[in-house]
Amino acid sequence: HLQLQESGPGLVKPSETLTLTCSVSGDADDSISSGSHYWGWIRQTPGKGLEWIASVFHTGSTYYNPSFKSRVTISVDTSKNQFSLRLSSVTAADTAIYYCARHLLNGFYNYWGQGRLLTVSS
């Protein structure tokens, strides 16, 4: 059974850079390197609701929401079965629950992490 687990700081200061990591575990068929799945980050705020940030394929191909593109980097480490999100120059508006999830090209977010609450505050 596939499991995704987010890790990273719960509190960062304004203007700092945030790095979140999603660890993927399960059967051999569930590895990041297998299949045609994409691995993405979505965040949830009271004001904007659920918002897609970025996705990565195991080959390293990356896809970004233009709203974040200048500040965000997504990467994958197949040897560790992990993928990461780096968000720079954070502000209070980046305070949110950050989810990692697996999806297909046409949506189908069928596995989600439990979510990581990030607070941006001095």
Partner 1 sequence: DVVLTQSPLSLPVTPGEPASISCRSSQSLQHSNGYNFLDWYLQKPGQSPQLLIYLGSNRASGVPDRFSGSGSGTDFTLKISRVEAEDVGVYYCMQAIQTPFMYNFGQGTKLEIK
Q: Is 106 in the site for partner 1 (CB under 8 A)?
A: yes
Considering only residues 4 to 63 of the shown chain, the ones binding partner 1 according to CB under 8 A are: 38, 40, 49-52, 55, 63
- Of the candidates 28, 73, 33, the one whose C-alpha atom is nearest the C-alpha of residue 57 is 33
Q: Is 98 in the site for partner 1 (CB under 8 A)?
A: no
DSSP calls for 38-88: EEEEEEEETTTEEEEEEEE-TTS-EEE-TTTTTTEEEEEETTTTEEEEEE-
CB of 117 to partner 1, least distance (A): 12
Q: Is 88 in the site for partner 1 (CB under 8 A)?
A: no
One-letter amino acid identity for 93? A
Residue with tokens 């191909």: 61
Q: Toward partner 1, which CB reaches closer, 4 or 90?
A: 4
Specify the stretch interacting with partner 1 by CB under 8 A; choose among 16-24, 76-84, 88-96, 112-120.
Answer: 112-120
What CA–CA distance (Å, rounded) separates 120 from 80? 28
Q: Is 113 in the site for partner 1 (CB under 8 A)?
A: yes
- Of the candidates 122, 121, 112, the one whose C-alpha atom is nearest the C-alpha of residue 43 is 112
Positions that interact with partner 1 (CB under 8 A)? 38, 40, 49-52, 55, 63, 65, 99, 101, 103, 105-110, 112-115
